[in-house]
Amino acid sequence: SKTSTKLLLELYKERKEKFRDSKIKKRNLWTQIVKEMDKNGYKSLTEDILDRKLRNLKKTFRTIKDNNRKNSTGRGHITWEYYDIFEEIFLDDQTINFGPTIS
């Protein structure tokens, strides 16, 4: 649901720097998020389910960002309800934010 996805993104955002720290196990961070989701009534979620969900959302964001960059005139511009929060979370992530291109 939209509410659970927004909660997932907020919980991920709170731990963003820890996810980028190679000394911290991602699995432990996902376990924390599962517990928080459970407290908020989202039962039967696992670390793998949430990790996959975030990866899929990230892929969608990357696709939309790439499309909008290519179609900067406004034609074919795609909007997405989670775009702004992803922009905020992954602003400095080089795997998503493309630099200027040479055409």
Per-residue pLDDT tens digits for 18-44 = 999 999 999 999 999 999 999 999 999
Q: At what angle do helices 26-39 and 2-14 cross, to 10 degrees?
A: 140
Domain assignment present for residue 95? The answer is no
- What is the domain count for the chain? 1
Range of the domain at 64: 2-70+77-90
Quickly list H helices, the chain. 2-14, 16-20, 26-39, 47-70, 83-89
Answer yes or no: is pLDDT of 95 > 80. Answer: no
Domain assignment present for residue 99? The answer is no
Domain assignment present for residue 84? The answer is yes
What does the alpha-carbon distance between residue 15 and residue 43 come to, in Å, rounded to a whole number? 21
Mean confidence (pLDDT) of the chain? 88
Domain assignment present for residue 30? The answer is yes
Domain assignment present for residue 86? The answer is yes
Domain assignment present for residue 50? The answer is yes
pLDDT score recorded for residue 94: 58
